Structure 1
Amino acid sequence: MAKRFFSTVVLWSVFIGSIYLWQMTAIVWFITLISVVAQNEVYNMAKNLGWKAYRVYGLIIGGCLPLATYYRHFLYEFTGGVVDGSTVMAVGFTVCALVSIRTREIRDNFQRLGGTFIGILLIPYMLTFYVRICELHPDVNIGMALGCWVVLVAKFCDVGALLVGSWIGKNKMAPKISPGKTWEGFGGGIATSALLGYLAVFFLPDLFPRDFAPWIAAVCAIPIAAMAALSDLIESVIKRQAAVKDSGKTIPGIGGAFDLVDSLLLSAPIAFILLSFFSHG
């Protein structure tokens, strides 16, 4: 627990300090780095399950996704066309498909393509939504505040679930997947996220869009937190099937990069959709 607390403090300090110094550039490169590391961990676990993937190609595509999304306007000046995450995905799939032609086994081809793009879609594609969330508002500072708000809501759902679940948790949520999770903890996590989402906007209103009222923040936090909990369960399924306790050993006390961002994955697209309605004021 002490290692986990220390790692959490260090990570948040580095993250916030980097944002203060380099703003969006820090966020984009942090997302890129964590995406590639977590994606590689997914490929390692997939290997334990007997799945194959074009690892190098997949990691290159995954690393380019957030970068192409953020630097698309800069790339437009050089290419004369729209080069963004969608372009990276399309070109990447084409390259992997051409590479797969070398293999005679059709089943092996499909397995490698599937394994490669499951890793891409699960990690870098989802995390790239945080770049898009930060770009929702014309004021970059407000956009970054929205992105940090989503991270706060998603991560503290797990904290609230742990505290409430250990206190009054009785009814198992998914006993075969994650025996420690309870419905009471799930409800506590949702409530914690809604409360923190409300308080953040209530006490720091100047950091958020004018039409993003505290009560709206609390309502938006509910589905975001629910998706965070589901995202965490999906990682538990993958780790259980791969027979590993942690996705990696990158971060002391936490595990791997996938363990760090698990709750941020499915919560990202739903957050982007919801915040799109309240980010213009």
Structure 2
Amino acid sequence: MLTRTLTAILGIPLLIFIIQKGGSLLFASLLVLCSVGLLEYCNAVNTDEKINVNPMLEALLGIFLLCLFYFEIQFIVPGLILCFMLIFIHQILSNKVYVLQGIYAFLGLFYVAFLLGHILLFEKLENGTYILWLVFIISFTTDTFAYISGVNFGKHKLCPQISPKKSVEGAVGGVVGSIIATVIYGYFMNKYGYLNFPLFFYFILSLIVSVFSQFGDLTASLIKRTFGVKDYGHIFPGHGGVLDRFDSIIFATPVVYYITYYYILLR
């Protein structure tokens, strides 16, 4: 617990600096983060002797996708389709006859680079940096309050075969805690003119995103459980690897982006 706390004390100021600085620093940071995350993913799935996803190809395609998010947003979907085809072209040329290898390779690319790449789209929104903070506030408060609620009140298992320690009470506590934190954040953002969403919007957003963030956590656990991996890595002491720490962020990011994007567009 002490190690986790120290990592958070050091990591949170760095996160604040990178997000507030934005631009090329955020882009470069995400390139590193996703590259490490893809390598962690490859190490996990490659524990199956039938699967041999090429880490270098995954990293290169991940960088390609992130560049599209940063420079050419209109080519993101065509770029994703191209990546799908390139993965299977590589598999065929390598004479690999196990189709699940290509499927797992594309899954990793979509899961890590494509979903996290949405972080780069927030800067294209008006006051997007303050909207981006909603991703981290909702995800981190959900994790924190779910842990506290689960430890103190957890009696009913949520998904025992995937994550034995998680409880229904913890999940509910995570949602409630995230709603409180998000509404408070929204109140002050509105008060000082950084954002202009009704408080009810923050309530609904945090409710939806908190649920998705918990499914993001469970998805990362599902992959680990499938391949018998305890942690994806050790880059964050006390937290594990990139995919251990950002598992809820991976699902929360596109959900926050599209809800706020279409709300702004339609209101």
Q: Indicate whether the TM-score tops 0.5.
A: yes
Distance 2:189 2:92 in 1: 55
Distance 1:201 1:23 in 2: 21
Q: Who is 1:124 aligned against?
A: 113
Q: Who is 1:78 aligned against?
A: none
Distance 1:185 1:240 in 2: 20
Q: Who is 1:24 aligned against?
A: 23
TM score, norm. by length of structure 1 = 0.87
**Deviation per CA, 1:162-194, whole angstroms, max 9, x where unpaired?**
001111111110111111111111000001111
Deviates more, 1:25-34 or 1:166-175: 25-34
| Structure 2 gap ranges (5+) | none
Q: Who is 1:277 aligned against?
A: 262
SS at match of 1:176: coil
Distance 1:238 1:255 in 2: 15
Mapping of residues 168-247 of structure 1, within 5 Å: 168-205=153-190, 206=192, 208-210=194-196, 212-247=197-232
Q: Who is 2:85 aligned against?
A: 94
**Deviation per CA, 1:218-250, whole angstroms, max 9, x where unpaired?**
111111000000110111112222222211011
Q: Who is 1:7 aligned against?
A: 7
The CA deviation at 1:87 is: 3.7
The CA deviation at 1:104 is: 3.8
Distance 1:201 1:103 in 2: 52
**Deviation per CA, 1:178-212, whole angstroms, max 9, x where unpaired?**
111111110000011111110001122246432x1
SS at match of 2:166: strand
Kindly provide the amino acid, as one letter, of the partner of residue 85 in structure 2.
Answer: T
Kindly provide the amino acid, as one letter, of the partner of residue 218 in structure 1.
Answer: F
Q: Who is 1:268 aligned against?
A: 253
Contact 2:87-2:106 at 8 Å conserved across structures: no
Contact 2:44-2:232 at 8 Å conserved across structures: yes
The CA deviation at 1:275 is: 0.8
Contact 2:186-2:195 at 8 Å conserved across structures: no
Q: Who is 1:61 aligned against?
A: 61
Q: Who is 1:136 aligned against?
A: 125
Pair 169,214 (structure 1): closer, same or farther in 2 beyond 3 Å: same
Deviates more, 1:213-222 or 1:90-99: 90-99
Distance 1:158 1:217 in 2: 18
TM score, norm. by length of structure 2 = 0.91
Aligned residue pairs, count: 264
Contact 2:31-2:66 at 8 Å conserved across structures: yes
Pair 111,277 (structure 1): closer, same or farther in 2 beyond 3 Å: closer
The CA deviation at 1:71 is: 1.7
Contact 2:205-2:259 at 8 Å conserved across structures: yes
Kindly provide the amino acid, as one letter, of the partner of residue 118 in structure 2.
Answer: F
Kindly provide the amino acid, as one letter, of the partner of residue 93 in structure 1.
Answer: F
Distance 1:49 1:155 in 2: 32
| Structure 1 gap ranges (5+) | 74-81
Kindly provide the amino acid, as one letter, of the partner of residue 150 in structure 1.
Answer: V
